[in-house]
Structure 1
């Protein structure tokens, strides 16, 4: 499996496209700029099979409907956030001046249990990692040594918890019990900013040291 990080929109939210030897791909967190995503997909001659969301905040969902409709593929989100896609007060877009309310149609499928998961021909571990939002999840591709962590863990930082139903203590617990138990050489693909590793965050992240 290969992957690419594509920062999108004014908040430079990282979308990810993971793809395999059969040229199938998953699209993760298509936040904006549908054209940029489609250019890469078409350049690589990939066939999208699903959109999977780490969570449903506005900066991660802006291109969900255009991409879904163009490729005729399903969308997955955690059941805790099944109403967030269509509600700008829940997904956060109504809280920021200068941002038009951002919404998408409801997801086609909901994550309801964590563990081994297969979507669109890709298998991975689904971890519930709430705290930044109640339905935040992370996708661990063990064979490739990467975890796509959304806004749970960043290089040198952690997700904000001042949006609706954020919880700092729950976030820290998620990071320590789910992410920091992964092999230390695992690459962390965050929702914003550069790629990091579990080892780097264990050793240098000021929000995690001393917990």
Structure 2
């Protein structure tokens, strides 16, 4: 039995040995999952917070990535940029495992407490295979009752003194992004993408560009445009988006400015349900 247990542990490590966080700065790292990124804020051996939780059934990989960086030290909290299935999917399992609270904007609460479903994905937006699949993506509300609470209304992020959250609706009603002024790091969630989120090829072969939010799930394009403009005014030095590799430097800033100036032309789908 002991050997069997050791064999199981060895197989577990093999299954998840690719689940390793990549450092961005001393106290910021990210882990790229199948469809979206999660972000860890906090240096190893210090208090830390997890941003987003990817898909359901990804909790073991996320735990492996986090424990490789932090050991058995649990995060102080989980912050969700919004409640879509690829950002909140493993929130319940992770919050149970670590016994920590979850925070989300108050306008997202109904979607993560069983009260309201998101609009269905729109496969007519084009752009790639993921758009076609979006019609079957989960939109039913999560059930995070008793473990989720609204973020403070003053823009402060629990346990992250140097960070502020910014309301960036449009993709969803209560979408947020996080920003740290001292080094210009922007965690954009789905307000901005750094890969074409509609295309499965972008997942396999990530080519960095600045795109708008995932088209198949974006609810209000005019508000989404205002949110992108708000983020561009921050003049970030680095963008860590929900989809795509982190981007920084002159090319990122030029592409963000281009997206801001030509948002409807570049981001709005030319073929969209109801148009």
TM-score, length basis structure 1: 0.83
Contact 1:23-1:47 within 8 A present in 2 as well: no
Matched, 1:180 2:235: no
Residue 150 of structure 1, aligned match among 189, 198, 201: 189
Contact 1:17-1:26 within 8 A present in 2 as well: yes
Aligned to 2:83: 56
Contact 2:49-2:159 within 8 A present in 1 as well: yes
Contact 1:55-1:78 within 8 A present in 2 as well: yes
The Cα offsets for residues 52-111 of structure 1, whole Å up to 9 and x where unpaired, read as 011111111111011000111000011111010244962467873275957231352202
Distance 1:126 1:51, change over 3 A: same
Cα drift, residue 122 of structure 1: 4.1
Cα drift, residue 143 of structure 1: 2.8
Q: Which moved more, 1:62-71 or 1:33-42?
A: 33-42
Contact 2:51-2:81 within 8 A present in 1 as well: yes
Contact 2:118-2:139 within 8 A present in 1 as well: no
RMSD between aligned alpha carbons?
Answer: 2.8
Give the Cα–Cα distance (whole angstroms) in 1 for the partners of residues 97 and 152 of structure 2: 27
Q: Which moved more, 1:198-207 or 1:32-41?
A: 198-207
Cα drift, residue 161 of structure 1: 5.1
Pairwise mapping of residues 87-126 of structure 1 onto structure 2 (< 5 A)? 87=114, 90-91=117-118, 96-97=135-136, 103-106=142-145, 108-115=148-155, 117-126=156-165
Give the Cα–Cα distance (whole angstroms) in 2 for the partners of residues 145 and 151 of structure 1: 18
Cα drift, residue 190 of structure 1: 0.3
Distance 1:47 1:124, change over 3 A: same
Aligned to 2:29: 4
Residue 66 of structure 2, aligned match among 41, 46, 49: 41
Give structure 1 stretches of 5+ with no counterpart.
none
Greater strand fraction, Structure 1 or Structure 2: 1
Contact 1:58-1:88 within 8 A present in 2 as well: no
Please give the secondary structure, in 1, of the residue aligned with 2:173.
coil
Give the Cα–Cα distance (whole angstroms) in 1 for the partners of residues 216 and 189 of structure 2: 16
Greater helix fraction, Structure 1 or Structure 2: 2
Please give the secondary structure, in 1, of the residue aligned with 2:77.
strand
Distance 1:100 1:168, change over 3 A: closer
Asked which structure has the greater CA Rg, the reply is 2
Give the Cα–Cα distance (whole angstroms) in 2 for the partners of residues 201 and 209 of structure 1: 14
Distance 1:104 1:199, change over 3 A: farther
